[in-house]
Amino acid sequence: MRPFLRTVAGAVLAAGLAVSGQAFAAPPLRIAMTAADIPLTTGQPDNGFEGYRFLGYTIYDSLINWDLSSADKASGLTPGLATSWKVDDADKTKWIIHLRKGVKFHDGSAFNADSVVWNFEKLLNDKSPQFDPKQAANGRGRIPTVAKVAKIDDMTVRITTKEPDAWLPYNLSFIFFSSPAQWEKLGKSWEKFAYAPSGTGPFKLVKMVPRERAELVRFDGYWDKKRVAKSEKIILMPIPEPNTRSAALMSGQVDWIEAPAPDMIPQLKSAGMAITSNVYPHTWPYQFSWLPDSPWQDIRVRKAANLAVDREGLKQLLGGMMVPAQGQVTADHPWFGHPAFKIKYDPAEAKRLMKEAGYTPEKPLPVKILISASGSGQMLPLPMNEFIQQSLAEVGFKVTFEVMEWQALFANWRKGVKDPGSRGGDATNVSYAWQDPYSAFYRFMHTKAQPPGGFNWGLFSNPEYDKMLDEARATFDADKQNALLAKVHEKMVDDATWLWVAHDVGPRAMTQKVKGFVQARSWFQDLTPVSVAP
């Protein structure tokens, strides 16, 4: 009997161990992205900021990272692969960057000044063997002022800019560092590197099936011990169709979906899903034309439009998933300042201003807006625009729409109002990100940013703005710079230079098993504290 008992006991023990092993193995975190493909994994991701969110700050680090730990304040910069950075007092085009010691890439090679120089060459020097046109296309535009990067010693580099640029630290936050050793090992092929990339980030990619899934596992040797990932594994799936994302969440195929359709949110809530949202640097506006015959040349008309839109009503239409806009940035941001003109819903005042300008609901001012039927960051463009059309009609505007395909509208944004593709539009409706001063102000308001130099679509030009923006760009003290940017913003609002409508709140839906997620006020999110309960 003894051998029999031993066998039974052994079998029970083995079964018990297997069961407990199953119970304690942490389930992977499965996320459905809105992208149609896995964003580029070689270093500089494509697919906009969703690419940066999931395949950028996960596998890689920047010299300067974003602090994504708080849901209560706007995300700011924090040391990443650089421990400190300082502009040369004598020559404001030279920055000294001190690098973090002891950082290793996923392949075990060391991160140092050579790898920094190598990665900048990858983007900027098309004669270098590691130059990658795809990454250059995604990354070069983020560092327009960087002229040269040189090694001073193993842990220090000097970055030279074409002109004094106090916004360089923001720009550097978008540049990631791929491992030169891994690239060499893979036969100097970026195509192979895409399947086995090596960065310094908190996750490493172990499997990629194009258009279907990317599997990341925790990198135990991550340099920031506070940010070693809680999850052992993350599976990212591109599911561009919003209804499919919702169905995948409800059927238990994924734990987390990006951007559920607003009309699905009540159903997801009733199925027990958690809906998270938070305001982030996103604005949904009408950007005006400043051509001499533009109806927006009259400040009374511009102010009237800003006072005519019932933003609270619009918020209801979106199931609460927006924040009413009061300017180019959110009202709690350091750059908001104290504008005298308060943007709110005041149809009586709007009517009065329009009457003064010579227009009434009976004799309305015709304006034509370029809009899209869908598109990344555009929220729900058709119902939102129809709502605004109604609001504006009540105070004396006759709004017509030129509905364009999203890519066509987007391409036109770069080309400007004079391009034939603008089809006589008086304003364009393209939402934008404003996490750094260049993106928030310079690229729209500076004369130099008129196409093809930036996104000053309406050809706005005002020497006063140019001067203020140049000054802010050359002010290296952060507080003083913020104060100057607040002045720019105050002036923008007082001049009612745009029609500001809404800020998106980045809704996400997840199962109750997802723990530890803090939705930062940013386009990017930290996945390291997130885990899935068994």
Question: Which residues of the chain form contacts with another protein (CB under 8 A)?
Answer: 36-37, 40, 46, 48, 126, 133-134, 136-138, 140-142, 144, 190-191, 209-213, 237-241, 243-244, 246-248, 250-253, 271, 404-405, 407-408, 410-411, 413-414, 443, 452, 454-455
Q: How far is the CB of 28 from another protein (least distance, A)?
A: 12
Q: CB–CB of 497/289 below 8 Å?
A: no
Type of residue numbered 27: P
Shortest spacing between CB 356 and another protein, in angstroms: 38
Minimum distance from residue 451 beta carbon to another protein (Å) = 10
The tokens of 499 are what? 């029609």
What is d(CA 207, CA 410) in angstroms, rounded to the nearest whole number? 33
Q: Please, what is the minimum distance in Å from the beta carbon of residue 430 to another protein? A: 9
Distance of CA 101 to the CA centre of its chain: 29
Residues 6+ apart with CB under 8 A from 162: 93, 145, 146, 147
Closest to another protein by CB, 253 vs 389, is 253
Closest distance to another protein from the beta carbon of 250 (Å) = 4
92 CB-near residues (< 8 Å, 6+ apart): 164, 474, 476
* Polymer length of the chain: 534
Which is nearer to another protein, 37 or 346 (by Cβ)? 37
**Least distance between another protein and beta carbon 357 (Å):** 34
- Nearest approach, Cβ of residue 285 and another protein (Å): 15
For another protein, the closer CB: 328 or 412: 412
Q: Which two tokens stand for residue 325?
A: 């806009």
Strand partners, 498: 287
Closer by beta carbon to another protein, 210 or else 366: 210
Kindly write down the DSSP assignment for every residue of 314-339, as one continuous string: HHHHTTT--EE--SSS-TTSTT----
**How far is it, in rounded angstroms, from Cα 215 to Cα 207?**
5
Whichever of 189 and 316 has its CB closer to another protein, that residue is 189
User: What is the smallest separation between the CB atom of 283 and another protein, expressed in angstroms?
Assistant: 15
Question: From CA 462, how far away is CA 521, in angstroms rounded?
Answer: 32
Distant-in-sequence, close-in-space partners of 426: CB < 8 Å, separation ≥ 6: 288, 289, 294, 295, 296, 367, 368, 369
Element (H, E) at 249: helix 242-250
Residue among 86 and 188 whose Cβ is closer to another protein: 188
* DSSP labels, 143-212: -TTEEEEEEEETTEEEEEESS--TTHHHHHTT-----HHHHHHTTS-HHHHHHS---SSSEEEEEEETTT
Closest CA to 266 of 318, 323, 324: 318
Alpha carbon 158 to its chain centroid, in Å, reads: 28
Cβ of residue 67: shortest distance to another protein, in angstroms?
24
User: Nearer Cβ to another protein, position 78 or 244?
Assistant: 244
Q: Name which of 84 and 243 has its Cβ closer to another protein.
A: 243
Question: Which residues are paired to 29 by β-bridges?
Answer: 234
All residues at 6 or more sequence positions from 101 whose CB lies less than 8 Å from its CB, including other chains? 155
CB of 110 to another protein, least distance (A): 29
Instruction: Compare residues 17 and 271 and give the one whose CB is closer to another protein.
Output: 271
Give the integer Cα–Cα distance in Å for 264 and 438: 35
Q: Which is nearer to another protein, 116 or 264 (CB)?
A: 264
Q: How far is CA 362 from the centre of its chain?
A: 42
Burial of 292 from C-beta contacts in 10 A (0-12 / 13-18 / 19+): exposed
Complex with another protein: residue 17 or 411, whichever CB lies closer: 411
Q: Which is nearer to another protein, 79 or 453 (CB)?
A: 453
Give the residue among 348, 339, 361, 378 at the shortest CA–CA distance from 488: 339
Residue with smaller CB distance to another protein, 143 or 323: 143
Q: Least distance from C-beta 435 to another protein, angstroms?
A: 13
Q: How far is the CB of 496 from another protein (least distance, A)?
A: 25
Q: Closest separation between CB of residue 267 and another protein, Å? A: 9
DSSP H or E segment with residue 124: helix 113-124
